[in-house]
Amino acid sequence: MYFELSEEHKMIRDAAREFAQELKAGAIQRDEEAKFPFEFVKKMGELGFMGIMVPQEYGGAGLDTLAYVLALEEIAKIDASAAVIVSAHNSLVLWGLNEYGTEEQKQKYLVPLATGEKLGAFALSEPEAGSDASSQHTIAEDQGDYYLLNGTKNWITNGGNADIYLVIAQTDVGKGHKGINVLIVEKGYTGFTIGPKENKLGIRSSDTHSLLFSDVKVPKENRIGDDGFGFKFAMKTLDGGRIGIAAQALGIAAGAYDLALAYSKTRKTFGKPISDHQAIQFKLADMEVEIEAARLLTYKAAWTKDQGLPYGKEAAMAKLHASEVAMKHTIEAVQIHGGYGYVKEYHVERLMRDAKITQIYEGTSEIQRLVIAREILRA
């Protein structure tokens, strides 16, 4: 097996690492004010990160999933909020449009999304459904040449600032999960309103909103795939989304580790750097081992997807392990910083708060274990 990155992948990683340094100066203020990073989203579009896996013919960078993971990891090391904006946009919106959209849908929606001119959001979760795509209470009633959309979506990343929304809705209750569709909804459609912004523990400069649909007319040509394709679309999209979450979690953990390692070499107690104390060395060693394991799982999931192989189990494993490592070792990074870790200027408390959501969205850790168990029992 060959573990060295290609020169192209190294260039992507380095470009993302360089850009991420621009995010650092205002990260604390954006977090405190829950301020969306408009200028940086625009810059990420210019750098190609907002359409990194989309073919060049549709305005994207034409790169693979591994390149995407490398970029996300570097951005999340500094600002997980910026990383989740990129992740939701790419994994949950652009991938599905590129994979299953018609040529007309790609020209109208994928191109401006891939260039970063417009922002996308994926609307699956509901007050009673979470990531359970089979339990949809949002209804899209077939009216001939359009659907009449009614319902509520919760916890939608990019919900307030998106221009284009992929909405999962039930069209035929009698068919169960086979009666679900995915519809492209534009901001500004009559009857579509955006709820208040959520006041979150972490990833605070990304925006999370509820979406409300009241007799929203969605043209029939805005349905992606055949009638009843929505459930399969959601499942495929969530698999890819978990790779993005794993990359975010990996970046958060690695960013906290970098800060803890640097601090341990400069902070002195009893006349020597705390990195000379065995207790700190053990913490750093455990962090390095578990973060590297998360990195290998995440990169393998990306590679598996790029090979055209089934990757549901690999994505779930990467997401599960990386998110648990992120939570565990951001706490350790705060501990290594001592009292300084508890104040905002050292960044690690923000990374600790950001880490928690990686165990929750795209399915909780318990859901990932169910996905993994289902795959290994089926083998």
Strands 164-170 and 192-197 turn out to be unpaired
Instruction: With H, G, I as helix, E, B as strand and everything else as coil, classify residue 37.
Output: coil
The whole-angstrom separation of Cα 11 and Cα 129 is 41
The whole-angstrom separation of Cα 99 and Cα 41 is 24
Q: Which residues contact 57 (CB under 8 A, 6 or more apart)?
A: none
The whole-angstrom separation of Cα 96 and Cα 342 is 40
The whole-angstrom separation of Cα 242 and Cα 315 is 6
Q: Which helix (H) or strand (E) holds 209?
A: strand 208-219
CA distance to 3, 17, 202, per residue, from 352 (Å):
29, 20, 8
Strands 120-123 and 164-170 turn out to be parallel
Dmax (CA) of the chain: 78
Q: Which residues contact 144 (CB under 8 A, 6 or more apart)?
A: 220
Q: Count of alpha carbons within 13 Å of 379, Cβ hemisphere only? A: 7
Contact 348, 341 (CB under 8 A): yes
The whole-angstrom separation of Cα 327 and Cα 352 is 6
Q: Which residues contact 157 (CB under 8 A, 6 or more apart)?
A: 84, 85, 88, 92, 121, 122, 206, 207, 208, 361
**Given the residues 74, 126, 349, 362, the one annotated as active site:** 362
Q: Is 362 a catalytic residue?
A: yes
The whole-angstrom separation of Cα 76 and Cα 243 is 14
Q: Where are the beta strands (DSSP E) in the chain?
A: 120-123, 139-142, 146-157, 164-170, 180-186, 192-197, 208-219, 268-269, 272-273
Amino acid at 30: R
Q: How many CB atoms lie within 10 A of CB 338?
A: 13
- Of 196, 157, 205, 208, nearest to 33 (Cα)? 205
The whole-angstrom separation of Cα 180 and Cα 203 is 31
Catalytic residues: 362
